């Protein structure tokens, strides 16, 4: 029986206890032999801590752990270096003094091994002296590994303590510049890449490999790795879901694949979700269940209504890579947190298309937004969406209309006090239906929004196994007008030979009642 390392981030434990491991050691060898100071950004639960642990074992010359892996073939000289690892992942840094206490804990621990330093000296200077002592005592330069370097900042984003924590880390990381003669290798991981004016100023800028095609597969699971290491559990899942191996691979790809971290667009699966799916023999939303980071919730409170404007668009790299803690510009954080990813690259303009990576992230992210924005008194969003999809799958358009009307009317008007202005009302209307349609389009059907036709763009098309729904929406207009637009612009024409039943539906909404005012439909086939 295959063992899955759920919740295990220790390379030694994975190897010694026989858990499945996708061999990344060839990339690790390339990393440690071609450079010195690196930074890698990846979303949470994407294998960063396991990578750091692998580096720790390699530089600790634990040769026995790499037996049978690519590293055994590549590395001929195994040298043990003094390794200094800091893991910020386990702590909370919302209280003043916590970050300083954490750093002092590590400093005092290392001083026991390599000699005391002046307690009056700044923490950074004490660390520098430790690195020097370690180098002189062992005859080998030190290795510094910092996991989740940015967590002390993200914990207090948009609070007074945020600036203080940034200053503390900035001073601490400046050690790497003055201690350059004593370090063999420095590696920092995190979610965010803060701009030079914040944390990384004061020391030699690391080689940011976050968008390097060379190291794109350093974390996560590639398609090749999926098929090589997980052929057996894929077969088990195919049996459960009563489908072919090829169909099962497609379901896994749609649910967990789709991450790209360079212009090479190598497909990367979320490893956390993948191994949980295999362990449970079930496709589900595992990554999103682990919770939405507090810092992202903070950002979204400031920018909820602009999320629909961020997806499916091309951006220059500078617009989503470097991040300075600015809650008014959420795109870099949303991208670096893994909620958006690269979907295409235009070499001529050097622009990247950003969108949701897969079904798991899209549905979870939109559900989170909707639960905060669409606070209906009738039922919660997920329950209503589930019920609505069942109705549309059965072609019960009247029941869906009534359900939609009741749901929208249950949203208290005072939840959105900004809707007094006509422009704000229009924006609310657009965003409301952006969320609803994107949520409906994620479970057993295909959503096409603003689908281009020969004579215009239809607002939305929902394609189910047995039914197709062509929607045109109006605000303070008429359902007849909306339906007439569908007919005059021949939006249903591409489906004339489709064996499914095709409904053309015109919907008019009222800015006063904030719900469905009029609904007209025509069954065209």
* Domains of the chain in sequence order: 11-214 (3.40.50), 221-279 (no CATH), 294-359 (no CATH), 395-523 (3.40.1350)
What three-state secondary structure class fits 472?
strand
The CA-based angle 307-309-310, given to 5 degrees, is 70
Tokens of 409: 């009317």
Largest Cα–Cα distance in the chain?
A: 84
Beta pairing class for 501-509 and 516-523: antiparallel
Tell me the three-class secondary structure of 67-129, residue by residue.
CCCHHHHHCCCCCCCCEEEEECCCCCCCCCCHHHHHHHHHHHHHHHHHCCCCCCCCHHHHHHH
CB atoms within 10 A of CB 162: 18
Tokens of 361: 């992230």
Interior/surface letters 461-485, b for 16+ CB within 10 angstroms, e for the rest: bbbbeebbbbbbbbbebebeebbeb
**How many helices (H) and strands (E) would you count in the chain?**
22, 17
pLDDT (tens digit, 0 to 9) for every residue of the chain, 525 residues total? 899 999 999 999 999 999 999 999 999 999 999 999 999 999 989 999 999 999 999 999 999 999 999 999 999 999 999 999 999 987 889 899 999 999 999 999 999 999 988 888 999 999 999 999 999 999 999 999 999 998 998 888 778 888 888 889 888 888 888 888 999 999 999 988 765 445 665 556 788 999 999 999 999 999 999 999 999 999 999 999 999 999 999 999 999 999 999 999 999 999 999 999 999 999 999 987 776 666 666 666 665 545 667 788 899 988 887 655 455 677 888 888 898 999 999 999 999 999 999 989 988 888 777 777 777 666 778 888 889 999 999 999 999 999 999 888 887 655 554 445 555 666 677 778 778 888 887 666 788 765 544 445 778 899 999 999 999 999 899 999 999 999 999 999 999 899 999 999 999 998 888 889 999 999 987
CB atoms within 10 A of CB 368: 17
Residue 431, pLDDT score: 75
d(CA 287, CA 338): 10
DSSP per residue, 23-69? --HHHHHHHHHH-SEEEEE--TTSSHHHHHHHHHHHHTT-GGGGTTS
Q: Report which of 151, 90, 189 is spatially closest to residue 295, judged by C-alpha positions.
A: 151
Tokens of 172: 């601490």
d(CA 163, CA 161): 6
Q: Report which of 277, 272, 290 is spatially closest to residue 251, judged by C-alpha positions.
A: 277
Residue 197, pLDDT score: 40
d(CA 199, CA 429): 40
Tell me the three-class secondary structure of 394-427, residue by residue.
CCCHHHHHHHHHHHHHCCCHHHCHHHHCHHHHHH
DSSP code of 259? B
d(CA 91, CA 155): 10
Residue 295, pLDDT score: 64
Q: For 100-107, which contacts have Cβ atoms below 8 Å and span 24 or more sequence positions?
A: 100/168, 102/152, 103/168, 103/172
DSSP per residue, 270-318? -HHHHHHHHHHTS---HHHHT---HHHHHHHHHHGGGHHHHTTEEE-GG
In the chain, % helix, strand, coil (3-state, to 5) comes to 45, 15, 35
What pTM did the predictor assign?
0.86
Residue with tokens 């303070």: 476
d(CA 378, CA 401): 15
d(CA 362, CA 348): 29
């Amino acid at each position: 029986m295959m063992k899955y390392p759920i919740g295990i981030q220790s390379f030694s434990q994975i190897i010694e206890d026989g858990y499945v491991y996708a061999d990344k050691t060839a990339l690790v060898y390339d990393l440690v032999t071609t450079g010195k100071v690196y930074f890698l950004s990846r979303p949470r639960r994407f294998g960063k801590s396991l990578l750091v642990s692998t580096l720790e074992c390699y530089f600790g010359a634990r040769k026995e752990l790499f037996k049978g892996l690519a590293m055994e073939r590549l590395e001929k000289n195994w040298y043990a270096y003094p390794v200094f690892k800091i893991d910020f992942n386990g702590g909370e840094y919302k209280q003043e003094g916590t970050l300083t206490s954490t750093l002092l804990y590590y400093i005092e621990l290392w001083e026991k091994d390599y000699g005391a330093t002046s307690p009056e000296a700044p923490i950074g200077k004490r660390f520098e002296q430790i690195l020097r002592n370690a180098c002189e005592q062992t005859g080998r330069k030190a290795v510094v590994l910092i996991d989740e370097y940015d967590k002390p900042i993200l914990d207090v984003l948009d609070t007074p303590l945020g600036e203080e924590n940034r200053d503390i880390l900035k001073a601490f990381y400046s050690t790497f510049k003055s201690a350059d003669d004593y370090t063999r290798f420095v590696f920092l991981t995190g979610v965010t890449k803060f701009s030079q004016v914040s944390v990384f100023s004061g020391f030699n800028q690391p080689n940011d490999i976050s968008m390097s095609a060379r190291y794109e597969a350093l974390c996560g699971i590639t398609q090749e790795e999926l098929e090589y290491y997980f052929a057996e559990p894929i077969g088990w899942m195919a049996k459960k879901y009563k489908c072919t191996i090829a169909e099962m691979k497609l379901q896994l790809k749609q649910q967990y694949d789709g991450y790209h971290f360079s212009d090479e667009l190598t497909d990367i699966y979320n490893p956390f979700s993948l191994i949980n799916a295999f362990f449970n023999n079930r496709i589900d939303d595992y990554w999103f269940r682990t919770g939405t980071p507090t810092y992202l919730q903070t950002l979204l409170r400031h920018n909820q209504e602009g999320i629909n404007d961020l997806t499916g668009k091309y951006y220059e790299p500078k617009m989503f890579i470097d991040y300075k803690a600015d809650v008014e510009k959420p795109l870099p954080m949303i991208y670096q947190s893994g909620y958006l990813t690269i979907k295409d690259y235009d070499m001529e303009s050097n622009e990247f298309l950003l969108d949701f990576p897969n079904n798991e992230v899209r549905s979870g992210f939109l559900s989170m937004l909707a639960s905060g924005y669409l606070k209906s008194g009738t039922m919660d969003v997920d329950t209503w969406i589930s019920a609505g999809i069942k109705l549309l799958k059965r072609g019960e358009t009247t029941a869906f209309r009534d359900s939609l009307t009741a749901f929208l009317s249950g949203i208290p008007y005072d939840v959105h006090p900004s809707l007094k202005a006509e422009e704000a009302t229009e924006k609310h209307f657009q965003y409301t239906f952006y969320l609803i349609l994107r949520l409906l389009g994620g479970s057993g059907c295909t959503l096409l929004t603003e689908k281009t036709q020969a004579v215009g763009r239809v607002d939305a098309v929902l394609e189910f196994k047995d039914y197709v729904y062509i929607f045109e929406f109006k605000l303070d207009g008429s359902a007849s007008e909306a339906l007439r637009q569908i007919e005059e612009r021949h939006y249903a024409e591409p489906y004339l030979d489709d064996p499914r039943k095709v409904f053309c539906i015109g919907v008019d909404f009222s800015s006063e009642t904030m719900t469905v005012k009029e609904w007209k439909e025509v069954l065209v086939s």
